[in-house]
A and B are shown apart, each in its own frame.
Chain A
Amino acid sequence: MTVSGSESDVPVLSVRDLRTHFPMGGGLLSRLTGKRRVAHALDGVTLDIRPGETLAVIGESGSGKSTLGRTVLRLQEPTSGTVSFRGDELTRLRREELRRKRRHMQMIFQNPYSSVNRRNRLRDIIAEPMHVHGIGSAESRGERAIELLELVGLNSDFARRYPHEVSGGQLQRVGIARALATEPEFLVADEPTASLDVSVRANTMNLLHDLKQQLGLTLMFISHDLAVVSYVADRIAVLYLGRIVEIGTKEEVERAPQHPYTQALLSAAPSPDPRRRGKASAPLGEAPNAIDRPSGCHYHPRCPLAVPVCREKYPVLERKVNGQQVACHAVPSADAASPA
């Protein structure tokens, strides 16, 4: 890691009460009556990511995890709240200032084929960020692109190929190389392995892990799969309908999940062992959507521990007995002497 000790306490990224709401189109009638429905994709997210740290954001579809990744990079304008990168409030920067800032924070996408321009050679794809920031000459950018290809484990023969001529795993490496082209310190990886085959997934994870160590990267790793993040994460945040329901170190969340939803996520995943068949238990009911959210704690209709107060009041995200922060009425808080 290239970060000195005194600096390491200052978060690379700090997010305060971030909200991103999407107005839904709705029918003609709802437009006339003026009642626009709103999807609360993100609803008050607060978190810090320290230098060199990997924060995993876990959630199912509709949890707002991808919106979070895009909003912290301000690829999506937030409705309210702030995002600060190295002390600069991104949410207040003007367009050109933000654009210059972007070379320090990059993104890795889920689908390698759709996230690159299918008409460009791999070399040009990797060089594109350097081009838009005016780094180096065309020639030096080309050389740097080849270095980056080698950094992600592809030889220079790939430089002249087109996206459709390489496999998904190889193209994902190119996506990673492109993200590293401007030597950023912060990366958002949005489900980088979800569209890859099982046999090449591990390769990509190992690569990300190595690069993180080697370059001292700070990472936000978005995934729906706890098993995938277990390898790279230092801390884990669990998102449900736009809010963090649990956040803590990897050990805390994995070994002793406190929120009933985190527990359900862990126990619902089938295990690759036929002897443990039928042990997976699913929470009841359908995942509600971000438009019609249940009152109070959004998880209460599916929650086995629900008590009457859960229907009325959204629980505060606070430190609980095990150490991590949890938003649940049923879990005793750290300073409460006895269970509630």
Chain B
Amino acid sequence: MALKTSRRNRAAASSGADSGAGTPARPAAEAGLLRRLAGKRISLLSLIGVVGFLLLALVGPLLAPYDPAALGKTSLAPPSAEHWMGTDEVGRDLFSRFLYGSRVSILVGCLAVAAALVLGALLGMVAGYRSGSTADGAIMRLMDVVLAFPLLVLVPVVTGVIGSRDISIGPLEVGAEVQVALAIGVALVPTFARIARASVLAEVREDYVLAVRSFGGRRRDILFRNIMPNILAPLVVQTAFALAMAITVEAAVSFLGLGIQPPGASWGTMLADARTSIPLGAWWLAVFPSAAIALFILACNLLGDQLRDELDPRTKSTGSSRRTERAESGSSNDG
């Protein structure tokens, strides 16, 4: 306990020193966000978890001892020095499949969230800035329609529509993974759109928006130069939660055989493969992918919570002393 508070104090003191020097690199709210996150044990662990998985996705396959699709001699071998996670029914090395599968699952998750973030934020910002207009109504009703479908129905339907085979558009080849990712992304758009719209609605009432209009700012000056940086915090928080959601959905859809197709590996397809073997006592087939899913989701959610605590102005006093004084004495000089 004592250790934790002293660390927090140090982080606060150092960010205070930054602003005292008069040349902080960024506003105090963000100065050393990473440093502040690293200062608390829970957020440090969740940060390590998420970053660790992302690294796994990037470099994992380089470490794979075998070809993930190569059939081996021993089927259903338990974990051993030779096969760290054992082998499956047809003798493929599970550790290699896990490394490749992690890359697919995590990249699908990240791509889905990135697509949802960009599209959702854009739609939400337009809707929020022109709230009450036809555009606002149309966008938000469309979001309602998307939200009306359960995720597990929506994603297969969307992948079904665009077909889950590789598509070649000229020289560009869109893999099945990308299609699954985009489908999941579509399902996640409404959450981002709603958050962006609500944040913009709050910002639009601020005088600075009127000020930008008053000196002749175009809509793009207002939305992208001024409002957008101010609404990033809630979107960043949501990104962490959405990543967890995207991973779950990918696993579930692939498990049902509607997402990533065999022989490609992902955490979901590995679980699907495990179905038939578990009655034979091959626990290792299910344990490693499920553990990965659980850990990754836990890390994402914890990180999201911590980010919310750090970025939400209501739970944190990052304002200046003068602001604090004002709050303390009421705005005693309105007169």
Contact = CB atoms under 8 A, between A and B. Distances in A.
| A/B contact in complex, CB under 8 angstroms | yes
B213 A75 contact: yes
B218 interface: yes
B254 to A, nearest CB: 41
Given A164-B28, A165-B19, A195-B331, A115 B207 contact: yes
A198 B230 CA distance: 31
A196 interface: yes
B322 A168 contact: yes
Contacts of B24: 162
B334 A103 contact: no
Contact of A109 (B19, B211, B217, B322): B211
Contacts of B333: 195-198
Interface residues of A, number: 43
A107 B214 contact: yes
Contacts of A157: 22
B27 interface: yes
Contacts of A75: 210, 213-214
Contact of B208 (A106, A114, A132): A114
Contacts of B214: 73, 75, 102, 106-107
B215 A128 contact: yes
Contacts of A168: 322
A198 B28 CA distance: 29
Given A165-B19, A195-B331, A115 B210 contact: yes
Contact of B207 (A99, A111, A119, A133): A111
Contact of B27 (A102, A103, A110, A162): A162
A119 B230 contact: yes
Contacts of A133: 215-216
Interface string A108-123: 0111011111110000
Interface in A172-198: 178-179, 181-182, 194-198
Contacts of A117: 208, 212, 226, 229-230
A196 B333 CA distance: 6
A196 B225 CA distance: 28
A276 interface: no
A167 interface: yes
A70 B229 CA distance: 26
Contacts of B28: 162, 164
Contact of B212 (A103, A111, A128): A128
Contacts of B330: none
B75 interface: no
Nearest to A188: B214
Interface string B197-220: 000000000111011111111100
B215 A182 contact: yes
Nearest to A171: B322
A92 interface: no
Given A115-B210, A128-B215, 9 more contacts: A70-B210, A73-B214, A75-B210, A75-B213, A103-B216, A109-B210, A117-B230, A157-B22, A164-B28
Interface of A: 70, 73, 75, 99-103, 106-107, 109-111, 113-119, 128-129, 131-133, 157, 160-162, 164-165, 167-168, 178-179, 181-182, 194-198, 225
